[in-house]
Amino acid sequence: MIDCDTLALADPTLDLANLLVHLEFRGGTGGARRVGEQAVREMAAEQRVPLQRMAAHATSTRLLLAFVYAVRPQWQELAARWFRDAAQQEDEAPSSCRRHPVR
């Protein structure tokens, strides 16, 4: 179950990406995970969610979870991988999408 402590009106893509990443993180490798992921993707297609937006929200969710789980020994390897993946995605993003340095 995902908590609702930050319940607010927002882009529905955020919820879909959040659920998708939680399935990836805690869903294991079984059929239930695949069914859940397929259901999320079908909903995203029905809502005509742009894939780039879905990917951006999924990356932000992975980073949030990576920060939460980086201090838990059993999840440190996964958290480190998610940090590396996010850094690689940042490097591969078009220059117009990259973060700007703080001055």
Tens of pLDDT, residue by residue over 38-89, are: 999 999 999 899 888 988 888 888 888 888 888 999 888 888 888 888 778 7
In tens, the pLDDT along 15-29 reads 899 988 888 877 666
Q: Is 85 exposed, middle or buried (0-12, 13-18, 19+ CB in 10 A)?
A: middle
CA–CA–CA angle 4, 76, 3 (5° rounding): 5
Q: Which residues contact 89 (CB under 8 A, 6 or more apart)?
A: 55, 59
Which sequence spans correspond to the domains of the chain? Answer: 12-95
* Whether the predicted pLDDT of 93 surpasses 70: no
Which whole-number Å values give the CA distances from 71 to 1, 5, 7, 40, 41, in the listed order? 22, 22, 26, 29, 31
* Whether the predicted pLDDT of 9 surpasses 50: yes
pLDDT value at residue 33: 84
pLDDT value at residue 22: 86
* Helix/strand/coil for 8: coil
pLDDT value at residue 42: 93
Interatomic CA distance for residues 39 and 34, integer angstroms: 9
pLDDT value at residue 59: 86
